[in-house]
Amino acid sequence: MDFRIADTFTASLARLNGAEQKAVKTTAFDLQLNLSNPGLRFHRLDRPRDPNFWSVRVNDDVRLIVHRTPTSLLLCYVGHHDTAYAWAERRKIERHPVTGAAQLVELPERVEIASVSVTTAPPAAAKLLLFAGVGDDKLLGYGVPPEWLEAVDSLFDIADHLPQEAAEALLNLATGTTPETPPATPAAVDSFAHPDAQRRFRVLANLEELERALDYPWEKWAVFLHPAQRRLVERSYSGPARVSGSAGTGKTIVALHRAIALARRHAQAQVLLTTFSKPLANALKTRLGYLVGNEPDIAERIAVRPITGVGYELYSAAFGQPNLAPPALIDALLRQAAAEVEGHRFTPRFLAGEWREVIDAWQIKRWEDYRNIARLGRKTRIGGAQREILWSIFERVRTGLAERHVVTWADLFGRVAENVAAKGKPPFDFAVVDEAQDVGVAELRFLAALVGARPDGLFFAGDLGQRIFQQPFSWLSLGVDVRGRSHTLRINYRTSHQIRAQADRLLPSSIADVDGNAEDRRGTVSVFNGPEPTIDILADPEEEAETVGRWVADRIAEGVEPHEIGIFVRSAAQLRRARTAAKQSGVPAIELSDRVETTPGRLSIGTMHLAKGLEFRAVAVVACDDEVLPLQERIEAVADDADLEDVYNTERHLLYVACTRARDHLLVTGVRPASEFLDDLAA
């Protein structure tokens, strides 16, 4: 007998308290172990729309709703008695007549929309406004249940009640995008085997899989993959591949499952799952444990480490522990060398940027290499004579580092890459890289060396719209060619339609990298709705603190837990304003520093950079003032007007990252005069 779990079950389980969840898990384990257990108390519902729905008693008040047939048992929902029965009475599981996918369908005649039952036929003109020329046959082909065909004009009211593939297709149509038609499953094939069914129902082969599914109800889409995600995970590539998409589209989930799929497909393979920071790597490691906690042979062959950690370990093994040059030493050497070389007017800021983004990043060791390099990402033009002067400065810095027997991170990555290439035995068979938009030149060259010449050895997940740490550069120049193997995810699972639509105003509809690979953000849809974001421009910091404090208190009153709320500011200089706002709310707070974990019972406070990789039900982005966003000191540090574009772009990306950490509620505040970005956000 097949034992399955639905995504609706994991979502409903998370809403119960700890004692209730423990009792539910015990009952679920009993169901999987022995359906004939006399202690299990099944009850057929009195008014079922689906005769296969049964309730199972957990305790005096909590009931499991299961779908039971002679060959399968499906955990569908759990809740308090009346709530559970009401849920079951307006739903059924059926095979879609066109696509053949198993669907859990909520029946529309019991759903009230704007005080009018959706079974009332909508005005024909209203339907034409949204879906002109789209007939019922076409809508059925997209997976819309027959019961909902007459209600599609009320799209934003009914979207949350539809099967996911139907809601996504209608949202795409409404925004002018032609959705992908789901494949049709022949009648002889199990309806639960359809790709769309697999995104909501999962077969659990044993008790360990059930235990893991119930213990870790984190983002349910980490287990129930969208068909577009599954194709990217399982596909074989002829070279490096990259998956992109706006915030919340599941890129990290694809990266996790890709690493697991590679380890399963290649029995002896060593897989590296990596990202640019230690906190994000720790989060990946935790999530990997949720997915393969009962498969030690798979888990032990997937190394989850930050890129710097991998580089440090390999360097230490080959050359001994590295002596890394502190930033202050490099600044001192640059100042000393600049003072020794006459005939130039280069500022310390320009020299530091040229060293960091060209000389060190590209590991320039000879004048001939510097003379010929394209200096991508450095918009200030310099002629041949100026380059000669610059090289005489940087050559002195290189000599100073060598005399002190210290290396930069770029030196470290370069030496390890050369050592791996010389040995001809790469330490990993595959590398899967999350947050790839913030991988630098030296790191990318290093990653390419780690997997050798294997065509499909590299897989990247990232979003150019969230690039906040690195200057753009050509991947192709390093031999990493993702052209023709770049794919964009368009279904947003994490952020409401309202928040996503507003945050998207900060970015262009299409962003291209240096090599011409474009990420088209048009056609992205969110699978759920929420309240409109709020943008408040206040008179002074005191009024702002009161406003944010009230907003946080209101969210708490609505049932949002403190650890589900984040308050973010541009930089450490504004953290005091976040602390004051938190104090006004009356809720204790903790500053994130470089940690990823939230703390139960406390708000999370941090800078926008630390928001990367996090997720909250409610987010307040505070202190978005003029000269704070974009940061005035970054603008003043620009050596040439042409570099301003990159500063403004990364500052926009930073605000976008902060706003898209919110799932349901978003508040953005500033003090007059406010950041110019708020005009775009509110447009």
Higher pLDDT pick, 194 / 682: 194
Three-class SS state of 475: coil
CB 69 within 8 A of CB 52: yes
CB atoms within 10 A of CB 631: 17
Please tell me the distance from the alpha carbon of residue 555 to that of residue 564, in angstroms, as a whole number: 10
Q: What is the dihedral of CA 443, 447, 452, 456, to 10 degrees?
A: -140
Residue entry with tokens 């076409």: 138
Residues in a beta bridge with 486 = 242
Nearest Cα neighbor of 587 from 597, 598, 596 is 598
Please tell me the distance from the alpha carbon of residue 447 to that of residue 679, in angstroms, as a whole number: 40
Residue 112: predicted pLDDT: 45
Nearest Cα neighbor of 482 from 454, 507, 513, 510 is 513
pLDDT digits (tens, 9 = 90+) for 99-153: 999 999 998 864 444 433 444 334 444 444 567 678 889 999 999 999 998 888 7
Tabulate helix, strand, coil % of the chain (nearest 5): 45, 20, 35
Q: From residue 96, give the alpha-carbon distance in Å to each of 139, 142, 198, 657.
A: 12, 10, 14, 38
pLDDT band of 94, cuts 50, 70, 90 = very high
Highest mean pLDDT among 108-122, 206-220, 487-501, 660-674: 660-674
pLDDT band of 528, cuts 50, 70, 90 = confident
pTM (predicted TM-score): 0.81
606-630 average pLDDT score: 93
pLDDT band of 159, cuts 50, 70, 90 = confident
Q: Which domains does the chain have, with CATH numbers?
A: 2-198 (3.30.2310.20), 220-317+412-493 (3.40.50.300), 333-402 (no CATH), 531-681 (3.40.50.300)
525-552 average pLDDT score: 93
pLDDT digits (tens, 9 = 90+) for 434-482: 999 999 999 999 999 999 889 999 999 999 888 888 888 889 989 999 9
Higher pLDDT pick, 263 / 149: 263
Please tell me the distance from the alpha carbon of residue 547 to that of residue 536, in angstroms, as a whole number: 9
Residue 377: predicted pLDDT: 52
pLDDT band of 216, cuts 50, 70, 90 = low
CB atoms within 10 A of CB 424: 8
Residue 442: predicted pLDDT: 95
Joined together, the tokens standing for residue 132 give 């002109």
Joined together, the tokens standing for residue 161 give 């009640």
End-to-end CA distance of the chain: 55
CB 589 within 8 A of CB 604: yes
Q: Which helix (H) or strand (E) holds 650?
A: helix 644-659
* Beta strand 302-306 pairing with 271-275: parallel
Which residues contact residue 255 at a Cβ distance below 8 angstroms, ignoring those fewer than 6 apart?
Answer: 243, 273, 284, 432, 433, 434, 459, 461
Q: From residue 683, give the alpha-carbon distance in Å to each of 219, 339, 532, 535, 663.
A: 31, 49, 13, 11, 21
Residue 153: predicted pLDDT: 75
* Beta strand 201-203 pairing with 241-245: unpaired
Residue 124: predicted pLDDT: 40
Measured in degrees and rounded to the nearest 5, phi and psi for residue 60 equal -60, -30
Please tell me the distance from the alpha carbon of residue 77 to that of residue 65, in angstroms, as a whole number: 5
pLDDT digits (tens, 9 = 90+) for 369-426: 998 887 655 555 677 788 899 999 999 999 999 999 999 999 999 999 999 999 989 9
pLDDT band of 221, cuts 50, 70, 90 = very low
Residue 122: predicted pLDDT: 41
Chain mean pLDDT for the chain: 88
Residue 606: predicted pLDDT: 93
Q: From residue 641, give the alpha-carbon distance in Å to each of 380, 637, 645.
A: 8, 10, 8
pLDDT of 573 over the 70 cut: yes
Three-class SS state of 165: helix
Residue 279: predicted pLDDT: 84
Please tell me the distance from the alpha carbon of residue 7 to that of residue 22, in angstroms, as a whole number: 18
Residue entry with tokens 């772009």: 649
Higher pLDDT pick, 592 / 447: 447
pLDDT band of 517, cuts 50, 70, 90 = confident
Joined together, the tokens standing for residue 589 give 């707070």
pLDDT digits (tens, 9 = 90+) for 310-345: 999 999 999 999 999 999 999 999 999 999 998 888
Residue 403: predicted pLDDT: 96
* Beta strand 241-245 pairing with 458-461: parallel
Three-class SS state of 614: coil
